[in-house]
Amino acid sequence: MKKPKAYFNVLKLRLNMTLKREVVTNYPVAAFMEPNLFCNLHCPACPTGLNLRLRPTVSVEEEFFRSAIDEIGDYLFQLYMYNWGEPLLHKRTPEMIAYAKAKDIRINLSTNLSIKLTDDYIERLVRSGLDTMLVSLDGVTAETYSRYRRNGNFELVRENMRRIRETKDRLGLKTPKVVWQFLVFRHNEHEIEQARALHREWGADEMIIAGAEMPMEPHSEGFEPSTIPEYNIYHPDHPTQREAQRLLASDRACGWLYGVMVLNPNGKVSPCCAVPTEKLDFGEYQKGGKLLDVWNNDKFRRARRLFAPAGKRAPKRLTDAEKQEISQRITGMSMKAALSVNEETQLICHKCPIPSMQNYTGPIITEVINQLNASSAREKSQLKKLPYLLRYWLMGAPEWNGLARPRAAVFRYLSRAARR
């Protein structure tokens, strides 16, 4: 269980976000800190896979990683060690995971797993404390798989999944939970059911089946969204579209700007995980510096002002043209949105590539609450429940229904007071 200050930090985050403060006083509750900005595959929707050189080909230095974890690790509930590159191409990834894990952070990694890994590396990875490993495998045949995962080795991915399962069994460990991630296009939708039936046998513990983002022109030839509406994220009724429209028409602030730090291997700080080019980053962190200073620099404050009551001009009812424009931003892993930003006058937030994910901190806080509730329920003695209750209250007891109304009234009062 994390120290009480991590839970009090959640309360500060909620207050800063509700009051739409330009300068934040809380630390992030989640972070993206990936080891590498390069990859061995050539997926056609990915700027790294296409070798567009929108970010430099660099790896993180372990000392740099540790320095950042030393500063914010006590407050983090989730750490995502992936974004634009392949994390298992860094030889010290297991050790960096173990370092962060010592701060009691839930750690997630996404990999193509099409890499020759030694037995020693797999064992260090399994022992590191990694919680969840997403494995990109978009088919059950080599032919289907390699349509999108170019340069990927289908048999190698299967073999690695099997070896990870065997290593876990040999060591008697339940983690990492291996999650087979199947991105659905038209060309592979016929293999979904086979994958579902095979996933345990092949070494995965769970499956995520999700609609794929389409590659941008001129890389889109041969790719089409799934004909199954559930897996077509461009379909007007898809939850991604509905959530994007709901959030853009609301007056909520973006949760990334208040609760999630995105620190790239070379120190550049992005406002969220969907900034494909370094040109649109907001700042830079240097070892021994203060991440919070970067987080409150001019660009971050300008971005937060976009959501401030006086500045936000989001239409309450979006026109069909606006809906279509929002839908197209998510093409090519957000490259379409990024390429349409005027760097001189705009921030990427003006063309947000992931509007459906602006409430990113909400589910993280909900999970923290659920974990506290579950841990408290497991304790028989009232005395042993106390530490959990204390943390629950420090966060503002967000699910305590009896307090929901008075708490909302206090927030409204504070919001009005701050605007005066």
Give, as ranges, the residues between 201 and 240 that touch ligand SF4 (CB under 6 A). none
- For residue 231, what is the DSSP state? G
Three-class secondary structure of residue 162 per DSSP? helix
Q: How far is the CB of 252 from ligand SF4 (least distance, A)?
A: 10
332 binds ligand SF4 (CB under 6 A): no
Q: Which residue's Cβ has the minimum distance to ligand SF4?
A: 49
d(CA 74, CA 397): 20
Q: Kindly give the residue spans of alpha helices, DSSP state H, lying in 44-153.
A: 62-72, 93-101, 119-127, 142-148
Binding residue (CB under 6 A) for ligand SF4 from 28, 35, 49, 94: 49
Straight-line distance from the first to the last Cα atom of the chain, in angstroms, rounded to the nearest whole number:
40
Q: Which is nearer to ligand SF4, 145 or 256 (CB)?
A: 256
Amino acid (1-letter code) at residue 197: A
Name the segment binding ligand SF4 (CB under 6 A); options: 27-35, 40-48, 118-126, 173-181. Answer: 40-48
160 binds ligand SF4 (CB under 6 A): no
Q: Which two tokens stand for residue 347?
A: 């921030």
Q: Which is nearer to ligand SF4, 85 or 94 (CB)?
A: 85
Name the segment binding ligand SF4 (CB under 6 A); options: 68-76, 179-187, 253-261, 368-376. Answer: 253-261
Name the segment binding ligand SF4 (CB under 6 A); options: 177-185, 190-198, 283-291, 348-356. Answer: 348-356
349 binds ligand SF4 (CB under 6 A): yes
181 binds ligand SF4 (CB under 6 A): no
Peptide bond before residue 218 is cis, with ω within 30 degrees of 0: yes
Phi and psi angles of residue 250, each rounded to the nearest 5 degrees, phi first = -95, 175
254 binds ligand SF4 (CB under 6 A): yes
335 binds ligand SF4 (CB under 6 A): no
Give, as ranges, the residues between 91 and 150 that touch ligand SF4 (CB under 6 A). 112, 136
User: Tokens 């230095």 label which residue?
Assistant: 61
Residues 363, 79, 32, CA angle at the centre, nearest 5°?
95
258 binds ligand SF4 (CB under 6 A): no
Total chain residues near ligand SF4 (CB under 6 A): 22
- 8 A C-beta contact, residue 17 and residue 36: no
d(CA 4, CA 7): 5
Nearest by Cα to 241 from 357, 161, 147: 357
Binding interface with ligand SF4 (CB under 6 A): 39, 41, 43, 46, 48-49, 85-86, 112, 136, 254, 256-257, 271-272, 274, 303, 348-349, 352, 354, 358
